[in-house]
Amino acid sequence: MMELNLPPAELNIRKENGKTYVFDRLRKQFVRLTPEEFVRQRFVSYLITHKKYPQSRLANEIGIELGNVKKRCDTVLYDEYLHPLMIIEYKAPSVPVKQNTFDQITRYNMRLNVPWLIVSNGIQHYCCRIDYEKREYCFFKDIPEYERVKGER
């Protein structure tokens, strides 16, 4: 796998029938290790280990409906009342983060109305906070610590 702009993480990886799998600590199961999945697992580890996000409030592959279409948010952070607080969208390192990625996460947010959005391809990370009352958003240079994120709704 390619080098990422994230701290190293110990991942539980195994090979089976010529295919590589990684243990997803949130779903508690082995999943196919694709480049996007590699980014997800490293990013989730970063949030938990370095930014102090509670593992119990993060969930991967959360199904939502957009009209008649079923979609999946890559990772969702929930608050203490289990209301969605943040959506995180991942791309493979070889996929540049462009406007279509932001359009995708914005469509997901039309359903969840979270105050925080993050997009990452493992190399570039973008985080923004949405202020619905002021109808504005603010991009952050760094991914905020959980303490900064948790109280915002």
As a whole number, mean pLDDT of residues 67-85 equals 91
* Domain carrying residue 65: 19-150
Reported as a pLDDT band with limits 50, 70 and 90, residue 1 is low
Q: Does residue 63 fall inside a structural domain? A: yes
pLDDT in tens, 99-126: 888 888 988 888 899 999 999 999 999 9
Distance between CA 27 and CA 62 in Å, rounded? 11
Number of domains in the chain: 1
Q: Does residue 2 fall inside a structural domain? A: no
As a whole number, mean pLDDT of residues 75-88 equals 94
**Res 95: pLDDT:** 92
Q: At residue 67, does pLDDT exceed 90?
A: no
Q: At residue 152, does pLDDT exceed 80?
A: no
Q: Does residue 132 fall inside a structural domain? A: yes
**Res 151: pLDDT:** 72
Q: Does residue 12 fall inside a structural domain? A: no
**CATH number of the domain residue 123 falls in:** 3.90.1570.30
Query: What's the pTM?
Result: 0.93
Reported as a pLDDT band with limits 50, 70 and 90, residue 153 is low
Q: Does residue 5 fall inside a structural domain? A: no
Q: Does residue 7 fall inside a structural domain? A: no
Q: Does residue 3 fall inside a structural domain? A: no
Q: Does residue 82 fall inside a structural domain? A: yes
- Return phi, psi of residue 15, to 5°: -110, 140
